[in-house]
C-alpha cells in the first residue's frame, strides 16, 4: 500500500459522496462547481515529483478519471431538447393537464447521469431567474425547483410520500399515514415552487399490484394539481405496462393524461453504420482529450483502441467508462502512463460486458462488423 511521505502535502478528500435524493445532497451537487482537470505532467516531471506530491497527483488523477463527463452525445442532446420543450411549455394554469416525459432505455446507458445533468441545469436556471427564496406571508420558503427520487422495490403510497417529505427535509417523514404525508409533500411542492420531479428507477413499480397503481395515480394527481413536470426514468417501462396503463395511461380520473407524454430513449452506441461510427469516434475523441496520462498521444483511444473498446463495452456508457477509469488507474500504478490492448486486457469489468465481449471480438475479427481504423484489427490482435 502506498503511504504519504513525511512532509507531504495533506490529501484533500474531494470525494463527492452526496445523495441527490435529499434536498441537502441535491443542492450540494447542483452548487458545487465541476471538477477541474489535473494538469498534464511529462514522464520527466513525474519522476522529479517528491513521493508525497506524486501521491496527491495520482490521487487527483484517479478521481478525475472516475468522473469524466457528463459527455454530451447526439442521444443526450435529443433527450435534453425534448425535456426542455416539455418543461418549458408546461406552464398551463392549475386546472389543466400537464405533460410528462419518460426515458425508457436499457441498463447502463447513462439515463441517471443525463437526468441529473438536466435537473442540475434546470435547478440553476430557475434560481438564477427567480431567486433562491419564495416570498410568503411572514417569511419565505426556500426555492426547490427540482426533486429527485430513486424508487426502490416495494415502493408504496406511504413510502413514496415519506420519500418526498424526506427530500424536503421535513421532520417526522417516517411517521404519519400515507394521506398525512401526501398532504405535507404536496404543500412543499407548492410552497417551494417545485417545477420538475425526476423519478428514477421507475421499473420498481408494479402496476399489477394495488400499491404500484396507487403510486402511479399519486404522480398523476401531483402533476395535475401543481405545475410540476414529471420525468420518469427506468428500464423496460413499456414492456412492464408502465407506459400504457401505469404512469401515463388513461384511466377514469386522468383520461387526458395519455395524450400528454413524450417517450424518449437512449440507444447503445453502435459501429454498424457510418453515423454510428462517427458518433463513437467523436465520443472517444472527447474522452481522449480528458485523460491525464504522461505517455498519452493523439489517437491513443479514438484511433488505436476504437474497435477494441467497442467490443469490450458493447457500446454501453457504463462499461466503457469503468473500463477506462480502471485502465487509467492501472496505467498510473504500473508507470506505463498510456492505454493499450495489453493493459486493458488485464482489466475486468461488469459481467454483462465481459460476456458480450467474446461475441463482439469474434465478429470484429471475422470482419462481420464494418472495418474501423483500430490498430487491434490491423494487427489481428483481437
Ligand atoms: N454522458 C456521460 N458522460 C460520461 N460518462 C457517462 C455518461 N453517461 C453515463 N456515464 C458513465 O456510465 C455510468 C453509468 O451511467 P448511469 O448510472 O447514468 O446509467 P443508467 O442508464 O442510469 O444505468 P442503470 O440502468 O443501471 O440505472 C456512469 O457512472 C458514468 O461513469
Ligand atoms: Mg440509473
> How many Cα atoms are found within 13 Å in the side-chain-facing hemisphere of 211?
12
Note the pLDDT tens digit of each residue in 85-144. Answer: 999 888 776 666 778 899 999 999 999 999 999 999 999 999 999 999 999 988 999 999
Residue nearest to atom 29 of ligand 1 (CA): 318
CB 11 within 8 A of CB 4: yes
Cβ atoms < 10 Å from Cβ of 1: 2
Task: Give a yes or no: residue 343 inside a domain.
Answer: yes
Tell me, using a 6 A CB cutoff, whether residue 280 lines ligand 1.
no
Same domain, 67 and 88: no
How does DSSP assign 168-197, residue by residue? Answer: TT-TTTTSS-HHHHHHHHHHHHHHTT--EE
pTM higher than the cut 0.85? yes
Are residues 117 and 260 part of one domain?
yes
Please tell me the distance from the alpha carbon of residue 205 to that of residue 149, in angstroms, as a whole number: 13
29 and 177 assigned to the same domain: no
Distance 301 CA to ligand 2 centre (A): 26
Specify if 304 maps to a domain.
yes
Please check whether residues 101 and 229 belong to one and the same domain: yes
Q: What is the pLDDT of residue 209?
A: 83
Same domain as 280, residue 143: no
Residue 19 lies inside a defined structural domain of this protein: no
Residue-wise over 277-316: b if at least 16 C-beta within 10 A, else e? bebbbebbeebbeebbbbebeeebbbbbbbbbbbbbbbbb
Residue ranges in the chain whose pLDDT is less than 70: 1-14, 93-96, 244-260, 358-382
pLDDT value for 262: 86
What pLDDT does 214 receive? 84
Strand, coil or helix: what is 140?
A: strand
Quote the ligand 1 centre to 359 CA distance (angstroms): 23
Residues 205, 223: Cα–Cα separation, whole Å = 18
Residue 235 CB–ligand 1 contact under 6 Å: yes
Residue 242 makes CB contacts below 8 A (sequence gap 6+) with: 202, 203, 205, 207, 216, 232, 234
Asked if residue 7 belongs to a domain, the reply is no
The Å distance, Cα 318 to ligand 1 centre, comes to 5
Same domain (yes/no): 234, 341: no
CATH code of residue 134: 3.40.50.300
For 100, the 3-state DSSP assignment is strand
Q: Which helix (H) or strand (E) holds 141?
A: strand 139-142
Does residue 140 sit in the same domain as residue 283? no
E strand or H helix at 363, and its extent? helix 351-365
Please indicate, yes or no, whether residues 325 and 341 belong to a single structural domain of this protein: yes
Q: Answer yes or no: do 116 and 200 share one domain.
A: yes
Q: Is residue 318 part of a domain?
A: yes
Torsion angle of C-alpha atoms 216, 246, 263, 145, degrees rounded to 10: 0
Report CA(319)–ligand 1 centroid distance (Å): 9
According to DSSP, the residues that pair with 149 across neighbouring strands are 199
User: Is residue 229 a part of any domain in this protein?
Assistant: yes
Q: Probe ligand 1: pick from 107, 108, 151, 350, max atoms within 8 Å of CB? A: 108
Q: Whose CA is nearest to atom 23 of ligand 1?
A: 108
Decide whether any atom of ligand 1 lies within 6 Å of the 69 Cβ.
Answer: yes
Q: Please report whether residue 4 resides in a domain.
A: no
Collapsed DSSP state (helix, strand, coil) of residue 232: strand
Q: How far apart are the first and last CA of the chain?
A: 34
Q: What's the domain range around 308?
A: 25-72+270-378
Q: Which of 219, 241, 264 is the last residue of a domain?
A: 264
Tens-place pLDDT, residues 290-328: 999 999 999 999 999 999 999 999 899 999 999 999 999
Q: Are residues 250 and 131 in the same domain?
A: yes
Q: Which of 264, 296, 320 is the last residue of a domain?
A: 264
Residue 16 lies inside a defined structural domain of this protein: no
- Count: domains in the chain: 2
Instruction: Identify the residue whose C-alpha is closest to ligand 1 atom 19.
Output: 110
Same domain (yes/no): 183, 255: yes
CA distance 65 to 68: 6
- Identify the domain boundary among 264, 280, 306: 264
Would the CB of 313 count as within 6 Å of ligand 1? no
Whether 258 and 274 share a structural domain: no
Q: How far is the CA of 232 from the centre of ligand 2 (A)?
A: 11
Amino acid at each position: 500500500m502506498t503511504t504519504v511521505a513525511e512532509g507531504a502535502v495533506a490529501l484533500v478528500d474531494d470525494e463527492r459522496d452526496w445523495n441527490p435524493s435529499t434536498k441537502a445532497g441535491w443542492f450540494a451537487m447542483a452548487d458545487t462547481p465541476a471538477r477541474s482537470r489535473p494538469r498534464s505532467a511529462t514522464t520527466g516531471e513525474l519522476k522529479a515529483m517528491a513521493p508525497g506530491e506524486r501521491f496527491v497527483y495520482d490521487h487527483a488523477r484517479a478521481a478525475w478519471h472516475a468522473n469524466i463527463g457528463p459527455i454530451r452525445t447526439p442521444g443526450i442532446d435529443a433527450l435534453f431538447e425534448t425535456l426542455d420543450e416539455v418543461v418549458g411549455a408546461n406552464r398551463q394554469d392549475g386546472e389543466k393537464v400537464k405533460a410528462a416525459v419518460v426515458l425508457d432505455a436499457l441498463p447502463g446507458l447513462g439515463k441517471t447521469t443525463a437526468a441529473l445533468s438536466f435537473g442540475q441545469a434546470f435547478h440553476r436556471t430557475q434560481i438564477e431567474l427567480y431567486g433562491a427564496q419564495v416570498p410568503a406571508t411572514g417569511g419565505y420558503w426556500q426555492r426547490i425547483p427540482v426533486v429527485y427520487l430513486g424508487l426502490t422495490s416495494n415502493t408504496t403510497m406511504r413510502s413514496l410520500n415519506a420519500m418526498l417529505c424526506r427530500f424536503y427535509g421535513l421532520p417526522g417523514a417516517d411517521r404519519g399515514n400515507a394521506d398525512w404525508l401526501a398532504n405535507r409533500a404536496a404543500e412543499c411542492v407548492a410552497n417551494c415552487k417545485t417545477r420538475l420531479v425526476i423519478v428514477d428507477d421507475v421499473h420498481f413499480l408494479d402496476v399489477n399490484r394495488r400499491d404500484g397503481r396507487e403510486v402511479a395515480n399519486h404522480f398523476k394527481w401531483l402533476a395535475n394539481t401543481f405545475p410540476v413536470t414529471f420525468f420518469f426514468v427506468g428500464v423496460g417501462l413499456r414492456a412492464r405496462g408502465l407506459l400504457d396503463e401505469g404512469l401515463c395511461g388513461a384511466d377514469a380520473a386522468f383520461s387526458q393524461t395519455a395524450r400528454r407524454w413524450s417517450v424518449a430513449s437512449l440507444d447503445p452506441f453502435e459501429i454498424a453504420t457510418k453515423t454510428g461510427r462517427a458518433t463513437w469516434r467523436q465520443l472517444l475523441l472527447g474522452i481522449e482529450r480528458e485523460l491525464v496520462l504522461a505517455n498519452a498521444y493523439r489517437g491513443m483511444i479514438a484511433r488505436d483502441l476504437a474497435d477494441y473498446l467497442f467490443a469490450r463495452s458493447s457500446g454501453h456508457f457504463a462499461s466503457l467508462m469503468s473500463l477506462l477509469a480502471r485502465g487509467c488507474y492501472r496505467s498510473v500504478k504500473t508507470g506505463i502512463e498510456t492505454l493499450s490492448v495489453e493493459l486493458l486486457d488485464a482489466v475486468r469489468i461488469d459481467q454483462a460486458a465481459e460476456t458480450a465481449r467474446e461475441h463482439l471480438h469474434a465478429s470484429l475479427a471475422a470482419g462481420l462488423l464494418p472495418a474501423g481504423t483500430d490498430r487491434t484489427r490491423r494487427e489481428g490482435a483481437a
